[in-house]
Amino acid sequence: MSTVHDESTHSSCSHQGNNHSSSSHSSCGHQHCNNNRPLQQVKNIIAIASGKGGVGKSTFAVNLAISLAQTGAKVGLIDADLYGPSIPTMFGLVDAKPDVVEKNLVPLEKYGVKLMSIGFLIDIDTAVIWRGPMVSSAIKQFISDVEWGDLDYLIFDLPPGTGDIQITIAHTVSLTGAVIVTTPQDVAMADVSKAVSMFRKVNVPILGLVENMSYYELPDGTKDYIFGRHGGEIFAKTNGVPFLGSVPIDRAIREGGDNGEPYMLSHPESATSKAIRQSATEVVRMVSMMRAAQQ
């Protein structure tokens, strides 16, 4: 397993300690080098990403957020997919609107998680046709104009690709790290590879990779590797990325997403829930290792 925080990749930062002027480290991704960045009351900021669409980023982001909240952590979730927000549906909050207090948005809160999504602000069926600068400014508003308060974890559910939204987030906040979600299939790997290299370029550590839709368990207990076998795990090993776990295909996960009742809550004791919880535990472990390495 590779180290999660390779000092050598942070060529623009020569910082070794904590008592420094943050302004001289504006291009460095280290958490401790970004004292001038927003969200100072948030201990850990995690991006859930993948180059490829439809692999389960939002599903994992939702269930990770709930797993963390169930441990007693204070958790927020930003739906950064401005073009196709999923969080309002996945939390059963399609018609909900946030309050505004002194020009700031108050995040909605459900299942112990604070939430913000473009879907709470505009009709979810309206196509967002913004160009780069508008997209960046909307993301910055989600970061700076929302009353997040003290949080242990703030999770960004990213859209697919490696575009303006990903880059804006990486440059605006001090990301603790990114979790890559992928299916095991070969066609996903090229996109995953692009996502990994993008995060490395902008000095965001990769916390690890979660393989989603790893297999489908048939009634007789055998496993059908519908999207290929162990593709994500093999990619992680060959690319020096920690492997955080596998989540099987489960009809109830899809149903939970569509019904607004996240799977972790409706099936807390299932094998699949345990697999998700295990991946969440690994995320927390990697975050702790990263922070220890930064001390």
Ligand X SMILES: Nc1ncnc2c1ncn2[C@@H]1O[C@H](COP(=O)(O)OP(=O)(O)OP(=O)(O)O)[C@@H](O)[C@H]1O
Q: Which residues bind ligand X (CB under 6 A)?
A: 53-59, 81, 84, 86, 159-160, 212-213, 247, 249-250, 253-254, 257
Residue 42, strand partner residues: 151
Cβ neighbours for 135, distance < 8 A, ≥ 6 positions apart: 82, 164, 165, 168
Shortest Å, Cβ 191 to ligand X: 10
Query: Within positions 51 to 80, which residues make up the interface with Mg ion, using CB under 5 A?
Result: 57-58
Q: What proportions of the chain, in percent to the nearest 5, are helix, strand and coil? A: 40, 20, 45
Are 234 and 185 contacting, i.e. CB atoms less than 8 angstroms apart? no
Query: Within positions 133 to 152, which residues make up the interface with Mg ion, using CB under 5 A?
Result: none
Shortest Å, Cβ 161 to ligand X: 8
Shortest Å, Cβ 10 to Mg ion: 29
Distance in angstroms (rounded) separating the CA atoms of residues 232 and 27: 31
CB atoms within 10 A of CB 217: 14
**Which residue number, 34 or 272, has a Cβ lying nearer to ligand X?**
272
**Which residue number, 28 or 244, has a Cβ lying nearer to ligand X?**
244
Paired tokens of 101: 């207090």
Residue 179, strand partner residues: 48, 208
Which among 283, 215, 216, 270 is positioned nearest to 243, based on CA atoms? 283
**Which residue number, 7 or 258, has a Cβ lying nearer to Mg ion?**
258
Shortest Å, Cβ 229 to ligand X: 16
Question: Which range in 29-37, 50-58, 103-111, 280-288 contacts Mg ion by CB under 5 A?
Answer: 50-58
Which one of 44, 50, 86, 174 is in contact with Mg ion (CB under 5 A)?
Answer: 86
Q: Which residues bind Mg ion (CB under 5 A)?
A: 57-58, 86
